[in-house]
Amino acid sequence: MDRPDISTAELVALLEWYHEAGVDLAIDEAPHDHFAEADAARRQKAQPVARVVPSPASPEQAAQSARALAAEAPTLDALRSLMAGFEGCELRRTARQLVFSDGIAGARVMLVGEAPGRDEDEQGLPFIGRSGKLLDRMLAAIGLDRSSVYIANVIPWRPPGNRTPTPQEIAICLPFIERHIALAAPDVLVCLGGPSAQTLLNQRDGILRLRGRWFDYDCNGRVIPALATLHPAYLLRQPAQKKLAWRDLRALQAKLRG
């Protein structure tokens, strides 16, 4: 088929357009008429080919696998490595990276949120976006900072579009955060937001009913006092509720002093 002449400038513009569209690799040096090839393929009498596609593991199987892996981790570094290689949670496929923790392992206070956001997903650390900046100010108000606390999330991979994690995703990741808490061995656990408090403390009430209350978190027979409080992201949307968070922070401060 005859083709019109293309100037060098037009060719360069076409290549730039392909590159911006993500086509940055040539798969063959010789040109092909793929339309003709498709027509020829349709004219051939194709024989059916059996193709076996393995079924993905069920959420129950994935949760069992997570429990087995988490139990194997003797240290936080080992747990991080096992989680980085875990393929039982679909969130791993859409997230940039695992968001494991920040702060100091072995700190007296461990704070656990729900899941990473965009900023956390990009940098691999929890609570570093707008919510994280507010959390830093909240901690500073009672004399704490990231060098004196340990921070993690129930879900270590960012859900697409920051959507709420599904119950199945939470169930799959639960063994990891439970082992994470056991290895970090804090004196006090702080659940940031309703999903964290409901998951870790086995509660159904909303965060406005749970906040400010102390619970016993059973960590392999060791009881850790756990405080539920408002998530910084909620406080950014509802700044008038910061007075409630301040009461919770004072309660945390008193617990650490007591």
List, for residues 187-219, the tens digit of each pLDDT value: 999 999 999 999 999 999 999 999 999 999 999
Tokens standing for residue 200: 């870790």
Angle of the 59-72 helix axis to the 167-184 helix axis, nearest 10: 10
In percent, the amount of the chain with pLDDT more than 90 equals 77
Residue 52 domain flag: no
Residue-number span of the structural domain to which 197 is assigned = 59-257
- Sorted by sequence, the CB contacts under 8 Å of residue 176 that are 6+ apart come out as 66, 69, 70, 79, 83, 86, 156
Residue 42 lies in a domain: no
**Residues forming beta bridges with residue 96, ordered by sequence position:** none
Kindly report the backbone phi and psi dihedral angles of residue 126, in degrees, each rounded to the nearest multiple of 5, phi listed first.
Answer: -80, 150
Residue 71 lies in a domain: yes
**What pLDDT does residue 258 have?**
85
Question: Is residue 206 included in any domain, yes or no?
Answer: yes
- Helices (H), strands (E): how many in the chain? 12, 6
Residue 3 lies in a domain: no
Q: Is residue 14 part of a domain?
A: no
26 found inside a domain: no
The three state secondary structure string of 164-226 is CCCHHHHHHHHHHHHHHHHHHCCCEEEEECHHHHHHHHCCCCCHHHHCCCEEEEEECCEEEEE
Q: Indicate which CATH number applies to the domain containing 170.
A: 3.40.470.10
Query: Of the given ranges (8-22, 101-115, 170-184), which has the lowest mean pLDDT?
Result: 8-22
With 90 as the cut, is the pLDDT of residue 23 above it?
A: no
> Alpha-carbon distance 221 to 42, whole Å?
66
Task: Give residue 183's pLDDT band: very low, low, confident or very high (50, 70, 90).
Answer: very high
Task: Examine the pLDDT at 51 and tell me if it is beyond 80.
Answer: no
H-helix or E-strand spanning residue 62: helix 59-72
Res. 60 pLDDT band, cuts 50 70 90: very high
Asked whether residue 251 carries a pLDDT value surpassing 60, the answer given is yes
Contact (Cβ atoms closer than 8 angstroms) between residue 141 and residue 250? no
Q: What is the mean pLDDT of residues 67-93?
A: 97
Domain count, the chain: 1
User: Is 90 exceeded by the pLDDT of residue 44?
Assistant: no
Judged against a pLDDT cut of 80, whether residue 162 lies above it is answered with yes
| pLDDT of 45 over the 50 cut | no
Alpha-carbon dihedral angle through residues 71, 76, 77, 78, given to the nearest 10 degrees:
-10
Mean pLDDT to the nearest integer, 89-102: 97
Question: Cβ neighbours of residue 31 under 8 Å, at least 6 residues apart?
Answer: none
pTM score of the predicted model: 0.78
Q: Is residue 129 part of a domain?
A: yes
| Whether 231 contacts 115, CB under 8 Å | no
Average confidence score pLDDT of the chain: 87
